[in-house]
A = this chain, B = another copy of it.
Amino acid sequence: MTTLTPEQTSVEADQQSRPVLALDIGGTKVAVAVVTADGRTHGLLVEPTHRDRGPADVIRRLFDMGHRSLRAAGLTAPVEAVGISCGGPLDARAGILISPFHLPGWIDIPITELASREFGLPAVLQNDASTAALAEYRYGAGRGLGTVVYLTISTGVGGGFVIDGELYRGAAGNGGEPGHITVRAGGRPCSCGRRGCLEAYCSGNNIGRRGAEAAAAAHAAGRATLLAGLTTVTAQDVSRAAAAGDPVAGEVWDETTALLGQALTDLVNVLEPDAVILGGGVTRAGAMLLDPVRQAVKEGAMGPAGDAVTVTLAALGDEVCVVGAGAIAHDRLAQDQNA
């Protein structure tokens, strides 16, 4: 048995302070944990969403996971709030999932009201890109900084900003959509209805699509490529083939990093952040993604903005949204205390 010093006991107590229940509703997986004020998860559960079973079934299982997580966490302090992270469109202020892109058929679900009733606690909702931004700022790659731009590059391209330590919410409460900055005016059609957005080129889906198109063009031109013969091409196929020296994949990848670098330079010029943090599945490509993008920002951004910023990869990994859901619940408690 370990005997704790008074200092350790106090640290232990602090780490377990202000527990909140955090729910992250993804299209493939749901994650639930109790999150303490130090950003640690307790009783983390990750299970498949089975979104085809519909909202009532998913929400029932989500709440059951919440109760199991509360028991598994085994904390002595009572849980004080529920934080919920989900993809948009959603109305964060009203606590309603309007029609999340990744959850077809979920229309106008009053998720905070349902959670509040289920757990007998105040509940808050926020866009998953925003919760991730807040989590990286508070506990990850943005720790100790003032203003952070976070971009998640996965199926789509989302993001959020923390400005002077506060999650930026914007007039509509969605906190900004850096994935829909123009990189090629009149270019590829985007899910938002415009053309040429960053997401239309640099989301995982669209890197894959551009890889497939490049493979088809290479085939027609009699050019060999590692991307030939794949039933579907993913962003990972493209980055791996590019890393292996495949010229066709290399062109797709270079265009990807060039356009991402351009959009980040724009964001750095506009917002002059302390850091740009890149997360999401596509960033598993690591230095192959980070190095050219970092160089583009350093070369392209205005002097003071370029000097002030660091461009870095996210630190929190898969748990980022559940930690962020906890963070928005902590923010809510802090607001209530100040009010």
Chain A residues within 8 Å of B, Cβ to Cβ: 89, 146-147, 163, 168, 170-178, 180-185, 192, 194, 259, 262, 265-267, 269-274, 300, 302-305, 307-309
- Residues of B near A177 (CB, < 8 A) are 269-270, 272, 302, 305
Task: Tell me if A's interface is mostly helix, strand, loop or mixed.
Answer: loop
Give Cα A309 to B270, complex, Å.
Answer: 18
Q: List 5 A-B contacts (CB under 8 A).
A: A146-B171, A173-B304, A174-B305, A180-B302, A184-B185
Assuming A266-B181, A307-B172, is B271 touching A302 (CB within 8 A)?
Answer: no
- Residues of B near A302 (CB, < 8 A) are 174, 177, 180, 192
How many chain copies? Answer: 2
- Residues of B near A175 (CB, < 8 A) are 272
Give Cα A105 to B138, complex, Å.
Answer: 43
- Within the complex, the shortest CB–CB distance from A100 to chain B, in Å, comes to 14
Query: Which of B192, B269, B273 is the one whose CB lies under 8 Å from A181?
Result: B269
Assuming A183-B185, A272-B175, is B266 touching A170 (CB within 8 A)?
Answer: no
Give Cα A307 to B171, complex, Å.
Answer: 10
- Within the complex, the shortest CB–CB distance from A132 to chain B, in Å, comes to 17
- Within the complex, the shortest CB–CB distance from A159 to chain B, in Å, comes to 9
- Within the complex, the shortest CB–CB distance from A276 to chain B, in Å, comes to 11
Beyond known contacts A163-B168, A171-B274, A180-B269: 12 more, CB 8 A cutoff: A147-B171, A170-B271, A172-B272, A174-B272, A174-B304, A176-B269, A177-B302, A177-B305, A181-B181, A182-B182, A185-B262, A267-B270
Give Cα A309 to B185, complex, Å.
Answer: 22
A271, A274, A307 interface centre (most CB from chain B within 10 Å): A271
Give Cα A175 to B147, complex, Å.
Answer: 12
Query: Which of B171, B181, B272 is the one whose CB lies under 8 Å from A272?
Result: B171
- Residues of B near A180 (CB, < 8 A) are 266, 269-270, 302
